[in-house]
Structure 1
Amino acid sequence: MKWTIPEKIIELGRNYVQKGRVLSAEPDYNERIWHAEVMGSKLYEVRLDGSPLEKDWCTCAYWQDHQYCRHTVAVELYLKQKGISRVIDKPTTEFIASRSEVFTKGFSRILAKPAATTVPALALECQVEMVAENLFRPEENLFSLQLKVGFLANKKRLYVVKNIYDFLEMWFLEGNYEINQEKVHLARSAFDEEINGLLLELYGLAKTQQLGGSNANLDRTRFAKRALLLPPQQGGRLLEEMSRLRVLQLKLDKKITRKISFSENKRPLDFSVESKAGGYWLKFQTLFDYYLANYHWGVIGNHFYSFDNQQEEIYLTLQQLLKRFKEQAIAYDKSELLPLFKEVVPLLKKIGTVTVVEEILAELVDEPLALKMYFHREKAEITLRIDAHYGTAIYSTDKKHQQLPTTKKVLRDTKEEKQLAQRFLALGYQETATGMAKTLPQGSALYQFFTQELPFFRQFGEVVLSKALRELFLDAQQFRPQLSIKESDSWLDIHFDISGIDDDEIDAILQRLLNQENFYTMKNGEILSLESESFQQASQFLQQLRHRLQKDTVELKVPKYQALFLKEQEQDFDIPIDWAPSLQQLTLDLIHPENYQVDLPTALQAELRPYQLTGFRWLKMLSDYHLGGILADEMGLGKTLQAITYLLAEKESTDNQLLRAVIVAPASLIYNWQAELKKFAPSLQVCVVSGSKAERQQLLTAAADVFITSYGTLRQDSQIYEEAQLNYLILDEAQMVKNSASKTAQALRDLTIPKRFALSGTPIENNLGELWSLFQIIMPGFFPSKEKFNQLSTAMVAQMIRPFVLRRAKSDVLDDLPEKIEMNIYSDLTEEQKTVYLAHLRQMQEQVAGMDSNAFKQNRIGILAGLTRLRQICCHPKLFIPDYVGDSGKLEQLKELVVTAKENNHKILLFSQFTSMLTIIEEEFQKLGISTFYLRGSTNPKRRLEMVNAFNEGEKDVFLISLKAGGTGLNLTGADTVILYDLWWNPAVEEQAAGRAHRIGQKNVVEVWRLLAEGTVEERIDLLQNEKRKLFQQVIQGDEEQLQRLTEDDIRTILSIGAEN
Structure 2
Amino acid sequence: MKVSPNEPFQLIYTLFDHQYLGYLFESFVIQLDSEGRLTFSHQNISAKNAKEFASGLDDNDYELIKIMDSMQPDIVVKHFEKKKIKADDFFLKVFDPKTGDETKQEQIIAHVERRRSKIMPLLKGKRLFEMGNDGEPAWKEIEILKEEASVLFHFRRNEDNTHYFPTIKYQDEKVDFQYKGAYILCNDPAYIVIENKLYSFQKNVDANKLKPFLNKKFIAIPRKIEDNYYRKFVAPLVASFDVYAKGFDIKTEKYELEPTLYFSELASNGGQVATDLFGNQTNSNTLELEEAKILFELKFQYGKHKYKADHSQEVNVHVENEDDEYTFYRIKRDLSKENKYLKFLQETGMPLKSSQSTVPLGQAFSWINESKKFLEDAGIKLIQNGKNIKKYFLGKSEMTVEIKENIDWFDVHAIVKFGDFEIPFKIIRNYILKNIKEIELPNGEIAVIPDAWFEQYSELMAFSNEGSLEELQLQKHHISLVKELTDSNLAQMSLKGKLQKLNDFDKIDDFEIPEGFKGELRPYQKAGYNWMRFLRSYNLGGCLADDMGLGKTVQTLTLLQSIHGEQDAGTSLLVMPTSLIYNWEKEAEKFTPNLRILNYTGVKRNKDVTLFSQYDLVLTSYGIVRQDIDLFEKFHFNYIILDESQVIKNPESIISKCVRELHSSSKLILTGTPIENTTLDLWSQMSFVNPGLLGTKSFFKKQYQIPIEKRKDEDKTKKLYSLINPFLLRRNKSQVATDLPEKIESVRYCTMSPEQEEAYEKVKSAYRDKIMKEIESGGLGKSQFMILQGLTKLRQIANHPMLADETYEGDSGKLEDISFMLDNAINKHHKILVFSQFVKHLKIVAQYLDEQKIKYAYLDGSTKDRQQQVENFQNDESIQVFLISLKAGGLGLNLTKAEYVFLLDPWWNPAIEAQAIDRAHRIGQQNKVFTYRFITKNTVEEKIMLLQQNKKQLATDLITTEESFVKNLSKADLVGLLD
Larger radius of gyration: 2
Q: TM-score, normalised by structure 2?
A: 0.48
